[in-house]
Amino acid sequence: MHRVQYVNPSMNTEASMSPRKLSGECLCGAVRYEVEDSFGYALNCHCSQCRKATGSAFKPFGGIERDRLRVVQGQEHLMIFGDESGHDAHCKKCGSLLYSVVREGQYVHVTLGTLTDEPSIRPTAHIFVGSKAPWFTITDELPQYEELD
C-alpha cells in the first residue's frame, strides 16, 4: 500500500508573503467563504460518504488547516451534519456541500467545486477507490489508492 503525501507545493517560502485569498460560495449564494490558497493537499475521494454527500462519483477537495477558512457571509445559513471534531457544512437553503471538518477538527476539506477563484493546487490522487461507484471509470493517470492510510 502506498501512502498519500500531504505536501503543499504552493506554500510561500518567505514569511513576509501572505497567501492569496480564494473566494467560494454555495449554489444559491447565501453562504460565502474565504480560504487561503495554501492547501496542503488536494485529492479526489471516492468513498461512499463523499459520494452520498455530493451526489456525484467523487468529491474533489483541498485540505487546509481549519483556521485558514472563514465564512464571510451566511453563517446562519450553514447546516452542520456531525460534531465539532468532524462534520460536513452545507448551505441549508440550497444543500451545497461547502467543506468538511476532518482530522479531529484541525483541518477542513474544501470542496473544490464551490470555489469561485482558481486554486493553485490540483488533485494529485484518487482515494478510497476500493469503494468507488461501480458505474464510474477513472480515466486519468493520477495514482489510485484503495483506502487512505
pLDDT tens readout for residues 33-76: 999 999 999 999 999 999 999 999 999 999 999 999 999 999 99
Q: Is residue 110 part of a domain?
A: yes
| Structural domain harbouring 35 | 21-42+57-123
User: pLDDT at residue 108 above 90?
Assistant: yes
Q: Is 101 contained in some domain?
A: yes
Q: Tell me, yes or no, whether 128 lies in a domain.
A: no
Residue 82, in any domain of the structure: yes
Report the C-alpha gap between 126 and 146 in whole angstroms: 9
Q: Percent of the chain having pLDDT more than 70?
A: 89
Number of domains composing the chain: 1
Q: Is residue 141 part of a domain?
A: no
Give the residue from 73, 87, 77, 70 showing the smallest Cα distance to 19.
70
Question: Which of these, 20, 101, 15, 111, lies nearest to 58 by C-alpha position?
Answer: 111
The whole-angstrom separation of Cα 57 and Cα 46 is 7
Q: Is residue 115 part of a domain?
A: yes
CATH number assigned to the domain comprising residue 85: 2.170.150.70
pLDDT at 9: 45
Residue with the larger pLDDT of the pair 84 and 23:
23
Residue 98 has pLDDT above 90, yes or no: yes
Number of H helices, E strands in the chain: 1, 10
Whether 3 maps to a domain, the answer reads no
Amino acid of residue 88: D
